[in-house]
Structures are given as structure tokens and as C-alpha cells.
Structure 1
């Protein structure tokens, strides 16, 4: 966000500098005026000529004293006038600054009678204006600066280039020390809370001590300018959240809060048409993570058409019987498939007040950690979460053939040849139902594949909500063959083809496929030369 405080501070500093230089010049002129003229034509006492009388010296001294008093009075008047002008200018600048500041961002500055005296105080006064506490209106999806996510041993990054990997250990010492310093600073804040942290209300019985083993996950952006760190005890639903700034200097605290996730239901909404086998795989993952472990999830399946509907219904009923699970809703829709329409129906059918929603696809694989991440990074009327999923390539290309591909559980790895961060996809999102309805929901005129999720994402970017965008290590998109229908609009078809191309294989693997004939011809020539030498 633009910082309005700097131009005003700059003008005041320049004005003080000009005043200082003026005083120096006046002092220099005063010294010149007080210095007696060194005229060689004058005759000094004791030299040739008549000696001066005592009265002469007294008159000369009195004359110089009167001149000095007059000059001093003039300087004092000028200094008083400059001080008055400086005060008037400062009052005008302060009034201009107060007029430019919106009422909700004055925050810390209202309790101060004067301008911040140093950089640290000034930075503290700007915290309420930062994007940490309120969203910034952005023109498009390209203007948002995404986060990098990290744990105690791994960093997950979107910007890879040709040499970096989607998952890396912080090998460089400066990078490792930077992350360790942020975690240690957050631990110090949690274990030694201020009054403003409100720990007494959150933990009324006793203060808990946290260590680096309790660090769950962190997010950073702008090359370590902002940190969002989360800590939790084992098997606890209570998290500690610490936000830090690093404004080209020591790490400084923004806030420290407690987040209680117990009772925070997630309504997972899945639009579906056909793909019964894939839904069976999805349901196995849902049963293991949501039903057996998390137990705070509701599943809403919006099914388009009649083909496959009975199989989907039977699968849900079977899971319900075996797990004694009834928190699901199946909504049949006799319409042409539209992802936006399905998610909109799933959001509106909920009648139990506000709820956290996860817009999901049937080919998404997630873990228990992701559900907690979803809860921690979305807040009603404050922020929405758009995770970047790791999309797996075609296993037939990655592993040579489908027969050689390992089970799906062993394919869930973050490697360059195995998949990529789908940073151009905005379909997976965690947001509260109230925010979805207030923003206007999806554009229901969109039919078929894509675009509707981008439109919704742009609405949030242009609102005052905070949009958090970061890679999530516990969220995978499984490969499946894409079909780009002829009925799609040119924009939809272009996006579908782009997604299909990037979804197949890595750049080196695609290169091997393109030059397959050339490579095979080279291998045949090498084999022929080897055979000829052997026969000779």
C-alpha cells in the first residue's frame, strides 16, 4: 500500500535543515562583523606617531559594544520570526496529513501529541495502514503478491525458474537464519506476552510454554518482509498466530492472537457430473481424513444429470452406514454441468447460519493439515484463502507407463518432474458463506469449464477483504485427462488448452516426447556402430 507519511516527514526534515544552514550563515556574518579591520595604514599604539589617549579607547569600546548589541537584537528578532514560521508550517503539514488519512487508519497516531521521533516509532504508527489488517483494492489477479509457505525443514515456493524446486530445504545460511530468527522471535512473543495480546482471556488457567517443536507452518512474502506464523501443541485445536514485519531491519511484532478451531465446521462443496470411479477415490480420502480424524466437516455433493447418480448415492449411503456419519447432502440437478452453478447451489442450500466453505473438485487430494490451514487463513468479513495446489503430471509419462506407476499415496511428492504449483488456477478456495453472498457469488451466465472462478477471485481483489494466496503442501490435484469441448468460448478454450498442456508433463519430459524420433534414430545409429566394431 502507498505510505502517505513519508512526503510530510520529508518536507519537515528539509525545512529544519534549511533553518540550521541559515543560523550558521548568520553566525558567520556575526563573526565577520565583530572582527576589527586589519588595515595596514593604521598606526598601532607604541609605533611611530602620537599615542592614543585612554578616552579614545573607551569611546571605541563603547561604539563596538553598541554595534554588537544592535546586531544581536536583530538576530534574535530574525530567529524568533523563523521559529514562528516553522511552527505555522508544521501545523499546516500536520493538518494536511490528518485530512488525507481515512478515519479508520489513524490508530496509534491518535494517542501521540507529536510526530514520531525515529524510524521505529514511525513504522509502528503505520501498522494499522498495512495490508496485514485490511485488504488493498487490486486491479487484477497479477497484482497480488503471493506468500511462500514453510515448515521447520522445508520451503514451498512458486517462483522456481530453471534451477529452483517446488519444495526445497533452506540450504543457504542467510535464508535459514532468516526463518529461524522469525520463529524464535514469534516464540519469544508467545512465551512473554504483552497486555495487548489478551492471553489472560484466552488461557485463564495457566500460561503455556511453546518451543520450536510446536511450530506448525509459516508464510512469508516480499522476500521476508511479512511473516504469518502458527504454533500448536500436539492434538490441540487451539493455535497461536503471530504476525511479524521485517522492514529492512530487526523483526518487529504486528500482533499475537489465539485461534480456536474446535467446533469450526467446514462445508466441503463438490460439483460433479459422471466420473463415478474418481468420486469413489475421493470418498476414500474424505472418509480417512474428515470422518475418522477431523470429525468437523460437512460434505455437499451437487450432482448434474442422471447418469451415475445412483452409484454416487449408494457410495454415500455405504459410508454413512459403516462410519455412522450423516453430515452430508446430495443435491441432484437435472441441468447441464456448470461448476459455478453447482458451487452456488451448494452454498445457498446451507441453512444453519454462517459456515466456512471449501470449494473442492473431485480430483483433489488433501490431508488433515490442510483442513486446519483452511480454518486458520479464512475469517468472516476479513479474509479469504486461495491456496495454490500442487498439480501432478500424467503418471504414464512420469513413470514410463501406468503399469509402472506407484499407488497414489506414493505419487504425492513435490518434485519438478512429478508436478507443478498451479498458480494460474483459482478454483480451490476457503471462504465464509457470508462473504461469498455479500460479494455476489459466481457469474451464473458462465457455462462449462473455467473463467467463473477467476471472476469471483477478481471480485475479492477489488473488495476490502484480505486475499491470502500461497502454496499448500498438503493439497494435491490428481492428473486426469482433460477434454476441451468445441462449445467453449474462445477465452475458455484457450484456458482449457493451456491447462491441458501444462498438466501433462514437465518441460524436459515434453522435450523428450517432441524429439522422440530423433532420439530413437540416434540410438539406432549408436547400436549399429557398436555392432560393427564387435564384428570387426
Structure 2
């Protein structure tokens, strides 16, 4: 079957346009190579007698002249490249127009892998890179482990999930390529903030004369993740020491030069966090939690409300007394105590805590009594959750059993001294989804927790899957300011087989590091070796 004449004409035009695009790219490359070629200048490369007589001043003048020459060349080249880009865009528009005018008969033919398809792929590459930058909505991932987590970093350290047996949960970017990458990204973010584009609009009200410039010292934290079919996405946060406003910059590297996605100012000075803690018994742990809450939330942050949902009657009066004592000593009254005379159910407790708030929209932090957090984490919670757009699922650093970690000491050190990111002290709890920051309306919109889940575990995974299958972006990253303190874990016989397996898995993971567990397994063998060594030493001494 022969293709209609109109289709052949379109195909021919398409082929010539593609050839034109290739020629344009070749011309840009040729111009670049010509400009980069060293310039031959007799006096410049071989100073000779004149240079010997003039000395230092001659060379300085010569260098200045060459620098001005190359600056003029660079300006000219940039102008020509901009013109070529404009022509390329015009040719792309013409190509797109031709594709739209193709007849239905040609479209209906069973041609696969034709040049028309190649043209479409080229147009998609040229026009949709920015659209690929934020992979946020409608991911429809198969499970909670399908989402690609972010790695977090500061100007000095990287907090990584993938460790294996050689890498550590907290490391300096030792590899030069990784260090150069992060430095480049931080500087690119500063360039966006300090030199906003006129078309952005959001920065137009900042007068050029009174604009506050940011430096590398103002970089607070960042997150990045790489998707193999798209590129690397960066979320950067900057803050002046004497201010409350944060600057948030999103960058995208589509396996090529960095591309700016957006730049915005984030004001979290009035953002209240409702910390919701479900609890049953464990009054000693709650007293320790309130000490952390007092130091961080009351004395430092001052923008937090505490909601405790208590199950049962045993220990209720003691919990109430602890909260009232803190309120009297610190003049803090932003707390709510909800009492439920029923069996403990974490999902129901968090759900009741969310619904107990009656002041409209609020950012909620679902927390456990064994969690220790810093003021920096509270700000990360505010910066990474946005109503109708983003929910924050930080990866907690879970501490091992201090009796094993500090077995060579008489007693373990205080809790504050145990909060370090080391391989033998803890691990990133990437299989846990219980600690999360999300807005109340988003939580209610997705239907909250599955209240049919009883006992330990499962309810947080159900909620996490709802967000993955919904329309919100899930931010998942290790956070250095969030710790899960070790405590004895009991897996009840009443749990379902799936819950019991998850509980035992969590219990095993929480106990000690790979090397410490190995030492425990071979403890008898080690002790036997030590006894033999001692016996041999004593025998030699007697002999």
C-alpha cells in the first residue's frame, strides 16, 4: 500500500528539519572548538627581547590584554549561541506544526518506529525536561518500598540509607565527584536566590538595592534523589541566622546541566505543630519524653501544641501529673490530654488526637513516646510538608541496645551522649513509617488510619500506601535530628502472623549491629579462646 502524497511530503519535510537540527548542533560545537583553540600571538607566547626588557609590567599588561580578548570572544559566542537556540526553537515549532497537520489516514497506518515517531521523541526531549523534574503525583507505586527516598545532606555531611557493610549512616562526602556535585548544587542555589529572574515575579518586590544576599554559610540542609529515567532532583533550604524566613530552591539535573525548577520564600514563623503521642502505661518513658519536649519545644521552638491520647486507667493520673508539673514550671498550657478507657490501638490514638484539634488547619507530627527530636527537626517538619501538596515521612535513626553498644563501660552514658550516627550505635529505620508530618486536612481527606488494624504495627503502612496512591508528593529521607530510643520490645501472642513477623523483625533489628550480634553469637568461642590464652600464659610463667 503506497503512502499518500501528502504524507510523503510531510515525511520529507520532517527529514530535512531533523537534518537542519543536526547541522545547528554541529555548528554550535564547531564554534565552541574554534573559540577554545589557543590563539597564536608571537609576542604573547614567546616574549623575546621585548619581554626581557619590559619585565613584570610587560607580562601583566599582556595578560590583561589577553583576558579582555577572551572576555569579548566569550560574550560574542554567548550571543551567537542564544541566536542559534532561538532558531532551533523556531524550527522545532515548525516541526511540531507539521506533525499536527498529518492526515488521519497516515496516522491510522500500522507503521512502527518511523521517522515521525523519532521526531515526536525529539520534541518530547526538547520540551518536557522541566515537566519531568518533580515526580510527585499519581505515582501508583506497588508498595511502600517503591518510592525512591531522598538522601539528606548539610555542607559538611551526607546522611545515607544505602550503607552495606562498608559505608556509614553519616559520612563526609569523601569522593571528589560527590563533594564537587554538592558544592556545585549549593552554589547554584545561591545563584538562583541572589540573582532572581525578572520573570519569576515572586522576587520583584525585593528592591535590588536592599536585597539581602545569601552565602554558603546560610545553607541549612538539602535533599536529593536520582530517578534513572529522568535525572536528579535537589531540594535546598537556606536561612539567615538573624531571620525567620527560609529560602527553598528546587533544582533538577536531567543527566546534563542543572536546570532551575522553582525558587520561593517559605515563612514558617507562624506554623504550629501539633505533636500527637498515643500512650498506654510506660510512665517512665513519658517522663523522659517530656524532658525532651520541655528542652526543645517549650524553651527553644515555642510553636508547638502537645496532644497525648492515653489508653486505660493504669498510670493515667501519673501522666496527668507529669503534664501539669511541666505546665506549672514553664507556664506552658498548649496541651491536650485525651483519655480512652479501652485497649491500646496506635492508629485509633493518632486518629483521635487529630480529630481532637478544633482550631482549623494544623500541621501534625505523629510521634511515639520513645522518640527524641531536635528543634532542627521541627523546622524540617514544617519545610517538607505542605497542605494539598506534600507529606513528610522522615527516616528515623534507631539506636541499638545500650547494654550491648556500651558493654565495655560500667554503665551506659546519658541519653544525650548516645545520640550519634555511628554504625555500631544505630541504623536508619527505613522499614518504619510511624513518624510523619502531614496536615490535618490531608490526613482526613485520605481517610486517616485503618481502624480495623488491632495491636502492634500495620496501621502506619496502610496510611503511607494511601498517600503513595494519592495526589500528594511523599518526601522520604533520613533526618539527623530524629532518634528512636531503644526499649525492650514484647511481641504479644494475640498478634496476627503478619504482625508477629513484623514485630520480631523489628525486635531483631533494634538489638545490635551486625558486628555486635556476631560477637554475641560467637561469645562462647571467644571466651574459650581467652581461657586457653590465660592457661598458656600461666603455664609459661610457672615453667
- Please tell me the TM-score bracket, short chain as reference: 0.7 to 0.9
Paired residue secondary structure (2:323): helix
- Structure 2: 5+ residue runs without aligned partners? 1-9, 21-94, 106-118
Tell me the CA shift for residue 20 of structure 1.
6.8
Change (3 A) 1:156 1:257: same
Task: Write out per-residue CA displacement over residues 133-191 of structure 1, whole angstroms, 9 at most, x where no aligned residue.
Answer: 64523221121000000000000000001110000000111110000000000000000
Tell me the CA shift for residue 201 of structure 1.
4.4
On the 8 A contact 1:272/1:304 being kept in 2, the answer is yes
On the 8 A contact 1:135/1:467 being kept in 2, the answer is no
On the 8 A contact 1:355/1:433 being kept in 2, the answer is yes
On the 8 A contact 1:197/1:256 being kept in 2, the answer is no
On the 8 A contact 1:197/1:257 being kept in 2, the answer is no
CA distance in 2, matches of 1:319, 1:143: 42
Does residue 280 of the first structure (1) align with residue 280 of the second (2)? no
CA distance in 2, matches of 1:198, 1:94: 44
On the 8 A contact 1:299/1:327 being kept in 2, the answer is yes
Q: Which residue of 2 is the match for residue 264 of structure 1? A: 271
For residues 26-425 of structure 1, the aligned pairs below 5 Å read: 90-91=99-100, 122=125, 125-132=128-135, 134-194=137-197, 195-196=199-200, 198-201=202-205, 206-222=210-226, 225-400=232-407, 403-425=410-432
CA distance in 2, matches of 1:123, 1:255: 19
Does residue 484 of the first structure (1) align with residue 483 of the second (2)? no
Tell me the CA shift for residue 237 of structure 1.
1.9
Tell me the CA shift for residue 130 of structure 1.
4.1
CA distance in 2, matches of 1:198, 1:343: 38
On the 8 A contact 2:129/2:254 being kept in 1, the answer is no
For the aligned residue pairs, the C-alpha RMSD in angstroms reads 2.7
Task: Write out per-residue CA displacement over residues 428-469 of structure 1, whole angstroms, 9 at most, x where no aligned residue.
Answer: 000000000000100001111000000000000001110010
CA distance in 1, matches of 2:11, 2:452: 55
Tell me the CA shift for residue 325 of structure 1.
0.9
On the 8 A contact 1:228/1:244 being kept in 2, the answer is yes
Task: Write out per-residue CA displacement over residues 289-327 of structure 1, whole angstroms, 9 at most, x where no aligned residue.
Answer: 111111110000000011111111111111111111110
On the 8 A contact 1:395/1:401 being kept in 2, the answer is no
- Structure 1: 5+ residue runs without aligned partners? 1-10, 22-85, 97-114
Task: Write out per-residue CA displacement over residues 41-63 of structure 1, whole angstroms, 9 at most, x where no aligned residue.
Answer: xxxxxxxxxxxxxxxxxxxxxxx
Paired residue secondary structure (1:397): helix
CA distance in 2, matches of 1:164, 1:13: 56
For residues 459-498 of structure 1, the aligned pairs below 5 Å read: 459-498=466-505
TM-score (structure 1 length as normaliser): 0.78
Task: Write out per-residue CA displacement over residues 399-427 of structure 1, whole angstroms, 9 at most, x where no aligned residue.
Answer: 00784211111000000000000000000
Q: Work out the number of aligned pairs and report it.
A: 443
On the 8 A contact 1:137/1:464 being kept in 2, the answer is no
CA distance in 1, matches of 2:206, 2:325: 41
Paired residue secondary structure (1:386): strand
Paired residue secondary structure (1:379): coil
CA distance in 1, matches of 2:519, 2:13: 63
CA distance in 1, matches of 2:307, 2:155: 35
Change (3 A) 1:413 1:88: closer
Task: Write out per-residue CA displacement over residues 76-105 of structure 1, whole angstroms, 9 at most, x where no aligned residue.
Answer: xxxxxxxxxx99962257999xxxxxxxxx
Of structures 1 and 2, the larger Rg is shown by: 1
CA distance in 2, matches of 1:370, 1:12: 58
Q: Which residue of 2 is the match for residue 51 of structure 1? A: none
On the 8 A contact 1:146/1:470 being kept in 2, the answer is yes
Q: Which residue of 2 is the match for residue 458 of structure 1? A: 465
Change (3 A) 1:352 1:289: same
